[in-house]
C-alpha cells in the first residue's frame, strides 16, 4: 500500500512521535466537531423546530437513530483517510475508473454548493433577525466572513474557531432549556422508543435525510489527517484509528445533544400552544413573547454562528473535492483548493440572489443532496472494502453488512424524501 505525504503531515511534522494517553485523546478532539457542525446547520434547525412544534417530543428517537448511523459512516470514512493518507475525493480519483470517478466528484461539488446555499442563507436569516439587514446583503456578509476565515487561518486555528462556534451553539440551547418547563420523563423515553404520529413520515424522513450529508463524508476523510504522524508504523495507525473513534463518538454525541435540545425547546414552547413553526424567522418571533427578549436574541445569535461555522465546513469540503479531481489534498494555499472554495461560495451566493423564496431554495438544495448522497456512500463502501486501497484495514464482512444495511436505509429514505419534495413543489 503506497502512502503519500499529506499537507497536514508536513505542517505537523512527519516524524513526530505521539504520546498515547488520556491527555493525547483530548488533543485529538477536533476533526469530528467540524463534521458535527454539518448536522447542526440551519437546515437541521428548520427540521428540528418543525418536528418539535408539530409532534412534541415524539420524534426524539429519530435523532438517536440518525446519530448512530452517522457515527458508523463517519467512522468508516475517517478510516480511509487514516489508513491511506488519501481523502475520499483523492481515493475516488485514484482507485475508481475515471469515467465513473469524475461524475461522482463533480456531483459532489454541486452537493457542496447546495450545502453552502442553506448555510449562508441561515446566517443571512440570523443577521436579518438581529439587525434587520436584507437577506441578500446578509448573504454577502456571511460569504465574505467565511472566505476570510478560510483564507487567513491555518487548519488548526480554524479548528479552534469551529470548536468555539459549536460551544456557543450548545450553550445557547442549554440556556434555552432552563427557560422552559420540560416533562423529562416523557422526553427521555422518546429518545429511545420509536413512535410514528399521524402525518409524521415527512418530518421523520427530513430528520433522517438531513443528518447524513455527502459533503461531511468528504470533509471528515480530509480533516482527520491533521492528526496523522508516521503512517508506515502499524502501531501508530492502530492508535490513530482508536483515537479517531473517540473523537467521532464525542463529537456526534454533542451533535445529538444539540439537535435533541432544539426539538425539546420547540416542543416545550410551541407544541402545547398548538403553534406550528414553518420558518426560522417565525420561530424567533414566537420565542420573543413566549420566553422573553433575551431568548429570541440567544436563538438568533446561535443561528448566526451555526450558519457561519457550517458555511466554513461546506467551503472546506468543496475545496477538498475540487483538489481531489487533480489528485491533490486540501491546501488553502494551493490554487486548486482556492478555486474549489471560490466555486462553492460564489455559486451558492449567485443562486441565493436568483431565488425569490428562501424557503423554496432550501428545499431545492436538499433535493440535490438527496440525489448525490447514494453515489458518495457507494463509492465510500467500495473503497473502504477494497484490500487494494485499505490493505489489512479493509472492512470486515460484518462491517460490510452493517454499512450495506445503513446504505439501503439512507438511500431509500432519501429517495422517498426526494419524491415527497418533488410532489410538494408541483
Q: What is the pLDDT of residue 20?
A: 46
Task: Report whether 38 contacts 219 (CB < 8 A).
Answer: yes
Q: Cell digits for 118?
A: 442553506
Q: Is residue 2 situated within a structural domain? A: no
Segments in 39-196 forming alpha helices (H): 42-55, 60-84, 88-95, 98-131, 135-152, 155-179, 184-190
Q: Is residue 1 situated within a structural domain? A: no
Task: Report whether 247 contacts 31 (CB < 8 A).
Answer: yes
Q: Cell digits for 97?
A: 475508473
Which CATH number do you get for residue 268? 1.20.1740.10
Distance (Å, rounded) from C-alpha 131 to C-alpha 110? 31
Whose grid coordinates read 438544495?
365
Distance (Å, rounded) from C-alpha 171 to C-alpha 148? 26
Q: What is the pLDDT of residue 242?
A: 74
Distance (Å, rounded) from C-alpha 378 to C-alpha 336? 26
Residues whose CB is less than 8 angstroms from the CB of residue 417 and which lie 6 or more positions away in sequence, other chains included? 202, 205, 206, 209, 366, 370
Q: What is the pLDDT of residue 155?
A: 56
Listed as ranges, residues in the chain with pLDDT below 70 are 1-30, 154-156, 158, 226-233, 359-360, 362-364, 366-367, 417-418, 420-421, 424-426
Domain that holds residue 181: 7-425
In the chain, DSSP finds a helix count (H) and a strand count (E) of 19, 0
Q: What is the pLDDT of residue 360?
A: 64
Which value, in Å, is the radius of gyration of the alpha carbons in the chain? 20
Task: Report whether 87 contacts 324 (CB < 8 A).
Answer: yes
Q: Cell digits for 103?
A: 461524475
DSSP letters for 108-129: HHHHHHHHHHHHHHHHHHHHHH
Q: What is the pLDDT of residue 74?
A: 93
Query: Taking each helix axis from N to C terminus, what angle separates 201-211 and 397-425, rounded to the nearest 10 degrees?
Result: 130
Neighbours of 313 (CB within 10 A): 28
**Into how many domains does the chain fold?**
1
Amino acid at each position: 500500500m503506497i502512502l503519500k505525504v499529506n499537507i497536514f503531515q508536513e505542517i505537523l511534522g512527519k516524524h513526530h512521535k505521539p504520546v498515547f494517553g488520556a491527555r493525547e485523546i483530548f488533543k485529538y478532539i477536533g476533526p469530528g466537531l467540524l463534521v458535527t457542525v454539518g448536522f447542526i446547520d440551519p437546515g437541521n434547525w428548520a427540521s428540528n423546530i418543525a418536528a418539535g412544534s408539530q409532534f412534541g417530543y415524539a420524534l426524539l428517537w429519530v435523532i438517536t437513530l440518525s446519530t448512530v448511523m452517522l457515527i458508523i459512516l463517519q467512522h468508516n470514512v475517517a478510516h480511509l483517510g487514516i489508513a491511506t493518507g488519501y481523502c475520499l475525493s483523492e481515493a475516488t480519483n485514484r482507485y475508481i475508473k475515471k469515467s465513473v470517478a469524475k461524475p461522482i466528484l463533480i456531483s459532489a461539488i454541486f452537493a457542496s454548493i447546495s450545502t453552502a446555499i442553506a448555510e449562508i442563507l441561515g446566517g443571512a436569516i440570523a443577521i436579518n433577525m438581529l439587525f434587520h439587514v436584507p437577506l441578500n446583503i446578509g448573504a454577502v456578509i456571511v460569504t465574505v466572513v467565511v472566505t476570510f476565515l478560510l483564507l487567513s487561518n491555518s487548519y488548526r486555528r480554524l479548528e479552534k474557531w469551529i470548536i468555539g462556534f459549536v460551544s456557543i451553539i450548545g450553550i445557547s440551547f442549554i440556556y434555552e432549556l432552563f427557560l422552559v418547563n420540560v416533562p423529562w420523563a416523557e422526553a427521555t423515553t422518546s429518545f429511545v422508543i420509536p413512535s410514528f404520529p399521524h402525518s409524521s413520515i415527512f418530518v421523520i424522513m427530513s430528520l433522517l435525510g438531513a443528518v447524513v450529508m455527502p459533503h461531511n463524508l468528504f470533509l471528515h476523510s480530509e480533516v482527520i489527517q491533521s492528526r496523522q504522524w508516521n503512517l508506515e508504523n502499524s502501531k501508530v495507525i492502530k492508535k490513530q484509528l482508536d483515537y479517531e473513534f473517540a473523537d467521532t463518538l464525542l463529537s456526534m454525541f454533542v451533535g445529538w445533544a444539540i439537535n435533541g435540545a432544539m426539538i425539546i425547546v420547540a416542543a416545550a414552547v410551541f407544541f402545547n400552544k398548538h403553534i406550528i413553526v414553518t420558518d426560522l424567522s417565525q420561530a424567533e418571533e414566537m420565542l420573543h413573547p413566549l420566553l422573553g427578549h433575551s431568548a429570541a436574541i440567544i436563538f438568533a445569535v446561535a443561528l448566526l454562528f451555526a450558519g457561519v461555522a457550517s458555511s466554513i465546513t461546506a467551503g472546506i469540503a468543496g475545496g477538498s473535492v475540487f483538489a481531489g479531481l487533480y489528485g491533490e489534498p486540501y491546501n488553502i494555499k494551493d490554487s486548486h483548493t482556492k478555486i474549489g472554495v471560490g466555486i462553492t461560495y460564489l455559486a451558492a451566493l449567485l443562486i441565493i440572489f436568483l431565488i425569490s423564496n428562501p424557503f423554496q431554495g432550501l428545499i431545492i438544495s436538499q433535493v440535490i443532496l438527496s440525489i448525490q448522497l447514494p453515489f458518495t456512500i457507494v463509492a465510500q463502501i467500495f473503497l473502504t472494502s477494497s484490500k487494494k486501497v485499505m490493505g489489512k484495514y479493509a472492512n470486515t464482512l460484518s462491517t460490510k453488512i452493517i454499512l450495506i444495511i445503513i446504505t439501503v436505509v439512507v438511500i431509500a429514505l432519501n429517495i422517498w424524501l426526494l419524491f415527497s419534495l418533488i410532489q410538494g413543489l408541483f
